[in-house]
Amino acid sequence: MNDLAVLAELNRNYIRSVDEADVRWFDAHLAHDFHNTSPDGTLIDRAAFLAQIGRGSPVTDIREHDVKIRLLGDFAIIHARTTYKKPDGTPGAGRYTDDWQRRPEGWRCVSAHVSRF
């Protein structure tokens, strides 16, 4: 697969893994120096993110839309819009930006930023 196809598949699995609380997938695909900016504005490291994923997301049925992958050599930025169900069952939406770097072990997510509205 070419890099864009690999990154598109990684992006699909990232969203699936949030929805399914798949810590194992994240453990295999996050860089050791990964950081995440959560919707409430907090910045958390890899260990805190894995723990957060393990507790499950407060939103369900997360779907990605309007995915834009920007490949910049050994670095890629993925922008997308999301839809989901809030805990009360009403629809919600948001955006995310994930940064990926090609490392010797393959593409690894080095940072993420999530917003919900």
3-state class (DSSP) for residue 32? strand
Joined together, the tokens standing for residue 28 give 């295999």
Instruction: Decide: residue 97, CB within 10 A, 0-12 exposed, 13-18 middle, 19+ buried.
Output: middle
Q: Whose structure tokens read 């507790």?
A: 55
Pick the CATH number of 3-116 from 3.10.450.50, 3.40.50.300, 3.40.50.720, 1.10.287.130: 3.10.450.50
Spatial distance between the Cα atoms of 36 and 51, rounded to a whole number of angstroms: 12
pLDDT tens readout for residues 57-90:
999 999 999 999 999 999 999 999 999 999 999 9
- pLDDT > 80? residue 21: yes
* First-last CA distance in the chain: 35
- pLDDT > 80? residue 108: yes
- pLDDT > 90? residue 3: yes
- Domain boundaries in the chain? 3-116
Joined together, the tokens standing for residue 14 give 């990232």
pLDDT of amino acid 1 = 74
Spatial distance between the Cα atoms of 32 and 69, rounded to a whole number of angstroms: 22
